[in-house]
Structure 1
Amino acid sequence: MSNSLNATDDRLPAYARLRDALASRIANGEWTPDQPIPSEARLAKEYALSVGTVRKAVDGLVGEGLLERRQGSGTYVKAPAFDATLFRFFQWREVDGNQVSIPSSNLILRSASTAPAEAAEALGTTDVIKIVRLRSLSDLPVLFEEIYIPAAQFAGFAELPEDALGPLLYPLYFEHFGVLVKRATDDLSFGMASETVALQLRLQPGDPLAVIRRTAFDIKGNPVEWRIARGSAAQFRYRSEIA
């Protein structure tokens, strides 16, 4: 049986309706980054549309960062990895002087918890899983993170083996729970290190910190993660290009 576009807005052109239908299938975890999505010819047959219309819909999803074309292999769901972008705010370097890529991650805490007020407001729930991590570069701690995710969407997260948790969480959210992070909002501020944070980052209590509060959203626009990350203000940088 052919798939239908009946659930989409019939005021939109066919390619836009197909784009929304395919995005919904991605959001529902029907396809993963490990296997290509059906070919454009197959999708055209499923939806009774021309290959050109399908290509335009797929091109739109590639442009939005939901799909990626791999030459000679096909088109795949693009695994999210932009949680590494937190580090663009700091001037950390590797020991050889090169720009750091992704610092290592040391898991300090992972457990069911009640969300603090900021996280509860951002996520719309107090029933969360709390993750505390210390990110390090060449054994030097550089970022202290507290992360909160809705327990209802991430059932079983607390039981995942520790070696399944790499330095980047967004690909793990998608691969294990079908939660695709589409975008995130970062709020920047400054503060002073508490005794707990100072101890983790090898600073003195009261030392200045750069503080990043991030809310991440899934493909449907629902908040799926709130985190607060703290690093030494001495390493902070901000650059804005205005044309």
Structure 2
Amino acid sequence: MVQAQSRFDDRLPAYLRLRDELASRIAASEWSAEEPLPSDNALARDHGLSVGTVRKAVQQLVDEGLLERRQGTGTFLRKPAFDATLFRFFQAREANSEASIPTSRLISRVRTTAPDHVAQALGTGDVIRIERLRYLSEQPFLSEELYIPYARFAGFETLPDSEVGPLLYPVYLDRYGVFVNRAEDEVRFGAADGVTAKRLGLEQGDPVAVIERTAFTVAGEPIEWRIARGRADSFRYRSRIG
């Protein structure tokens, strides 16, 4: 069998070269979310490496959060729970204090020209703007405005609502081959404008928590910018140190 040819730095140890190759193939959307990567034995055979070297390369990607091992089924792309990290700032619990999964309602999706700060963050002004509300116990608690590059997500604005669902990142991956690998959140407080106040059942000028997020692909490409505004009376922050 012809061994796979590496285009990566030959000065690196073999496991790091394989790590870089696999990361590049992940960035190119070679595998879907529910499609296992080749087994360690198959990768070892195809690259002329020992199984131990392959396992070290794969473990590197597991440690970096790109992959996850599933007992008995194989190695898969890891889908970080970004919505869970967003909801950690709010009391996402029912009246009986049990944790609850928020629901969503799409308000609008339209191709438009991005505001300057969004265009700068995404590297393009040709975007799709998405507006939606998140609910808990049928009460709105988070108003979101999102922007995604039209060049990467053409047609998203016309998808039936039933095909979008409450979680967007799985849709990005399954329909457009875009794997969101990491996100950066910035949290501050502000005052509710008229639109936010109406959506969240507040008075204009009431305090709201504001979370700005930029999401990135494996290759470091900014792929989504969003701003979420939530009721300040349900905001919380918890940090564990040590």
* TM-score exceeds 0.5: yes
Cα distance in 2, alignment partners of residues 84 and 164 from structure 1 = 21
> How does the TM-score come out when normalised to structure 2?
0.95
Contact kept? 2:33, 2:173, Cα under 8 Å: no
Aligned pairs for 1:144-155 within 5 A? 144-155=143-154
Contact kept? 1:37, 1:74, Cα under 8 Å: yes
Structure 1 residue 220: Cα displacement: 0.7
Contact kept? 2:39, 2:74, Cα under 8 Å: yes
Aligned residues: 241
> How does the TM-score come out when normalised to structure 1?
0.95
Pair 1:77 & 2:77 matched: yes
Cα distance in 1, alignment partners of residues 143 and 235 from structure 2 = 14
Q: Corresponding residue for 2:11?
A: 11
Structure 1 residue 181: Cα displacement: 1.0
CA RMSD of aligned residues (A): 1.3
Give the ranges of 4+ consecutive aligned residues of structure 1 lying more than 4 Å apart after TM superposition. Answer: none
**What CA deviation, in whole Å up to 9, does each residue of 1:81-133 have, x standing for no partner?**
32331111112311321123x31010001111111122111111111111001
SS in 1 for 2:88: helix
SS in 2 for 1:240: coil
Aligned pairs for 1:77-226 within 5 A? 77-100=77-100, 102-226=101-225
Structure 1 residue 241: Cα displacement: 3.2
Q: % of aligned pairs identical?
A: 59
Cα distance in 2, alignment partners of residues 211 and 24 from structure 1 = 34
Name the amino acid aligned to 1:207: D
**What CA deviation, in whole Å up to 9, does each residue of 1:125-182 have, x standing for no partner?**
1111110010001110000000001111112212322111121111111111111111
Identify unmatched segments of 5+ residues in structure 1: none
Q: 1:242 to 1:34 in 2, by over 3 A?
A: closer
Contact kept? 1:79, 1:174, Cα under 8 Å: no
Q: Corresponding residue for 1:27?
A: 27
